[in-house]
Amino acid sequence: MSIKELIKISRFYGKDPSFLLAGGGNTSFKDESYIYVKASGFKLASIGKDGFVKLERNALNRIWEKEYPADVDLREKQALQDLMNSRARGETKRPSVESLLHAVLPQKYVIHTHPTIVNGLTCSKNGRQMAEQLFNTRCMWVPSVNPGYILAKLIKTQLAEYEKKYKSLPDIILIENHGMFVGAENVEEIEAIHNSVIDTLKKKIIRRPDFSLAPVNKAEMERVCRRLKNYPAFKDKYITFENNIEISAAVKDNTSFQKVRYPYIPDHLVYAGPEMLFIEDLESIEQDIDQYRERNDCYPKVIAVKMIGVFTLGDEEDSSRITMLLFLDALKIAVYTESFGGHKFMDKEQIDFIKNWKVEEFRSKVTRKFFFY
């Protein structure tokens, strides 16, 4: 059964943290009439048949015949409602926000992941140039745009242009500051394409992240925790601390920390916040947090303290740990970008859009509930 194959390949990539973290990524399978897409809030690592939503392909195709308002909020609201209305009779789960994009791709199987090493390329200054050099016509590069309807529409347009030019479909779709889509007619092809991409990039990496243990000043670490707990907004927060060789280099000073200050991909923004706070002087920590709040209209989830390490905060222990995982992912990406011309953060326009996007708010809440056993 094809759904069984979809479940198998979904779990394979979902269990690999080098491909996916937290609630990220989605997969799909198509037959002639329907597309089965991962539902929001389900982990690919343990997904079963009940983790997919059955959507009517004809209903999804009709979305492209509609004219949506120019107003961003109205457009996304109406497009989301049309996506929900495309569910087959009896379906109640919420489809992945990228379901429309899955429907645009004609291949039977489509896998969307956020491989760390791939995002070292998609989040770099020379990403597009290097992608064309490394993968030639196998790859279609998509510039960074707002996710959801706009991204799906752009890929639909680019795909038509690609097919007209090359008389074929791309094996790989790389989305700037986001991740990778791979489509194929069977799961064996899916695996072969992924392996080829990863192997190609590994050969180009000039430096790998060093996450080996680094010395920890326990007294200073505990002092920071006390200061954080004494801050009124953090008194009930759970705190996770991490230090390693790569973190030590990043928290050496403010200049060193700049490479991880802002989000590289949407998952970083959703789970680690719009900015990672760096504290030069522990005595000014309360003032620095207050200023962060003024800049971003929210409190920091990631706080790095000079020469000590990185602290993440969450309403629950699990959410604090998820935030740390996403920070570490950002740090790895920063290192990998060194091989492709240096780092490039998400555009401010995309950051502002996602900060106010109810779809991602829903995903982050559901993921915190289900991410850990």
Entry pTM:
0.94
* pLDDT of res. 335: 99
| CATH number of the structural domain spanning residue 282 | 3.40.225.10
Q: Do 279 and 136 have their domain in common?
A: no
The answer as to whether 240 is a domain residue is yes
Q: Do 129 and 169 have their domain in common?
A: yes
Q: Do 86 and 124 have their domain in common?
A: yes
Q: Do 114 and 155 have their domain in common?
A: yes
The answer as to whether 197 is a domain residue is yes
Residues forming a β-bridge with 181: 112, 173
CB atoms within 10 A of CB 284: 12
The answer as to whether 122 is a domain residue is yes
- Greatest CA separation for the chain: 64
Ordered per-residue pLDDT tens for the chain, 373 residues: 589 999 999 999 999 999 999 878 999 999 999 999 999 989 999 999 999 999 999 999 999 999 999 998 899 899 999 999 999 999 999 999 899 999 999 999 999 999 999 999 999 999 999 999 999 999 999 999 998 899 999 999 999 999 999 999 999 999 999 999 999 999 999 999 999 999 999 999 999 999 999 999 999 999 999 999 999 999 999 999 999 999 999 999 999 999 999 999 999 999 999 999 999 999 999 999 999 999 999 999 999 999 999 999 999 999 999 999 999 999 999 999 999 999 999 999 999 999 887 554 544 554 444 333 2
Q: Range of 52's domain? A: 2-202
* pLDDT of res. 372: 31
Q: Do 228 and 195 have their domain in common?
A: no
The answer as to whether 209 is a domain residue is no
What amino acid occupies position 311?
Answer: F
* pLDDT of res. 73: 86
Q: Do 172 and 228 have their domain in common?
A: no
Supply the DSSP symbol for 346. P
CB atoms within 10 A of CB 286: 13
Q: Do 173 and 256 have their domain in common?
A: no
Residue 169 contacts by C-beta under 8 Å, 6 or more apart in sequence? 106, 107, 159, 162, 163, 183
The answer as to whether 213 is a domain residue is no
DSSP per-residue codes, 271-332: HH-S--EEES-GGGHHHHHHHHHHHHSS--SEEEETTTEEEEEESSHHHHHHHHHHHHHHHH
Q: Do 104 and 236 have their domain in common?
A: no
Domain-terminating residue out of 135, 170, 202: 202
Q: Using an 8 Å Cβ cutoff, are 27 and 19 in contact? A: no
Q: Do 279 and 305 have their domain in common?
A: yes
Residue 250 contacts by C-beta under 8 Å, 6 or more apart in sequence? 256, 257, 259, 260, 304, 331, 334
Nearest 10 degrees: Cα torsion 107, 113, 114, 115 = -100
Q: Six-digit token pair at 20?
A: 């996916």
Q: Do 156 and 24 have their domain in common?
A: yes
Q: Do 186 and 242 have their domain in common?
A: no
Q: Using an 8 Å Cβ cutoff, are 108 and 99 in contact? A: no
Q: Do 75 and 181 have their domain in common?
A: yes
Q: How many domains does the chain have?
A: 2
The answer as to whether 237 is a domain residue is yes
